[in-house]
Chain A
Amino acid sequence: EVQLVQSGAEVKKPGESLKISCRGSGYSFTDYWIGWVRQMPGKGLEWMGIIYPGDSDTRYSPSFQGQVTISADKSISTAYLQWSSLKASDTAMYYCARQYCSGGSCYPAMFDYWGQGTLITVSS
């Protein structure tokens, strides 16, 4: 069974750093792109970026380029999303998700399996 398990909720202060995780299991972690999606309170889904754990090839939405860093450690089947200096506007639910593949066709930017979400609250 494919599973993506994310790290727990965090409460941080502005200016602090943070790294959240997403561990994949039940499939070959290095063969599928993993993406991150933001959902601010009461708002819609925002596509942030993706990483291919096999070679760490990473793509960012222009809206998130330079704001976050996506990485992966294939030895422990885990992808990460990190901030060097959090802002109050980073308060949101963050989801990781795995790319969709079917019938031999795979689409890096579309997702089928999702993690349960990690709620980040940034407040002074």
Chain B
Amino acid sequence: DIQMTQSPSFLSASVGDRVTITCRASQGISNYLAWYQQKPGKVPKLLIYAASTLQSGVPSRFSGSGSGTDFTLTISSLQPEDVATYYCLNYNSALGTFGQGTKVEIK
């Protein structure tokens, strides 16, 4: 099965900073990569699918890129409401795999 490796596991940044999270697949998955945001005590929320397509209603400061094995989630200007844990998800078959998560905090 395909493994998804996210980095970093934790990051602390200031409001307004540009933040980048990476996700690497153990084998090529084309662009079948989604990003989720989970705030403390809340249900996960879909941010991006097809590696770079923003889900309806998601702020434009979020963006995704990549294809094959290497993917990136970028927050162009970190806001206090972005404090959360972010997960990538490979969905290139009928079996999915989440990355281990990246916790984002405000410095």
Contact = CB atoms under 8 A, between A and B. Distances in A.
Interface of A: 35, 37, 44-47, 50, 59-62, 95, 100, 102, 107-112, 114-117
A109 B43 contact: no
Given A62-B1, A117-B43, A109 B100 contact: no
A47 B96 contact: yes
Nearest to B93: A109
Interface of B: 1, 32, 34, 36, 38, 43-44, 46, 49, 55, 85, 87, 89-101
A47 B100 contact: no
B8 to A, nearest CB: 14
A95 B43 contact: yes
A100 B46 contact: yes
B98 A46 contact: yes
Nearest to A103: B53
Nearest to B102: A44
Interchain residue pairs A-B with the least CB separation, the first 10: A109-B96, A109-B91, A47-B96, A110-B91, A44-B101, A114-B43, A45-B98, A59-B94, A108-B94, A44-B100
A11 to B, nearest CB: 20
A44 B49 contact: no
The interface centre, meaning the residue of B1, B38, B44 with most chain A CB atoms within 10 A of its CB, is: B44
Contacts of B49: 100, 102, 107, 110
A50 B94 contact: yes
B4 to A, nearest CB: 10
A95 B90 CA distance: 18
A110 B89 contact: yes
